[in-house]
């Protein structure tokens, strides 16, 4: 059964990218394969796993906005057994597109 792990925190500079890369990069050593999805427009996870962002023609942006086939955009990383769905700076403007809305956390959770 596949497992999904998410490394999230609204605050910047808390080690999300470093944690995600290190956890994912160790999966092959445990006999597992993995896919890491970079949803940050800065794309540091993408470049941190050896993918040259300037050479990307498509990214997670194209999956979200253009409904392109995710399997055609996933790329191998420098870590054998670990693939990535790369990010791109164009993702920063995706929330401004018609039909997209920004979701905010409830400031008064129950």
pLDDT class of 73 with cuts at 50, 70, 90: very high
What's the pLDDT at 12? 85
pLDDT class of 3 with cuts at 50, 70, 90: confident
What's the pLDDT at 99? 55
| Secondary structure element (H or E) that encloses residue 84, with its range | strand 82-85
Report how far residue 88's alpha carbon sits from residue 20's, in angstroms, rounded to the nearest whole number: 17
**pLDDT tens column, 77-99:** 999 999 999 998 877 766 565 55
Q: Which two tokens stand for residue 38?
A: 């970079």
Report how far residue 105's alpha carbon sits from residue 94's, in angstroms, rounded to the nearest whole number: 19
């Amino acid at each position: 059964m596949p497992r999904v792990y998410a490394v999230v925190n609204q605050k910047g500079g808390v080690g999300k990218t470093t944690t995600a890369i290190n956890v994912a990069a160790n999966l092959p050593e445990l006999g597992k394969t993995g896919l890491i999805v970079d949803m940050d427009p800065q794309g540091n996870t993408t470049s941190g796993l050896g993918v040259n962002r300037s050479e990307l023609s498509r990214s997670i942006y194209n999956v979200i906005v253009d409904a392109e086939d995710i399997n055609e955009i996933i790329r191998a990383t420098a870590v054998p057994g670990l693939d990535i769905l790369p990010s791109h700076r164009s993702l920063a403007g995706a929330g401004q597109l018609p039909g997209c809305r920004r979701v905010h956390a409830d400031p008064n959770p129950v």
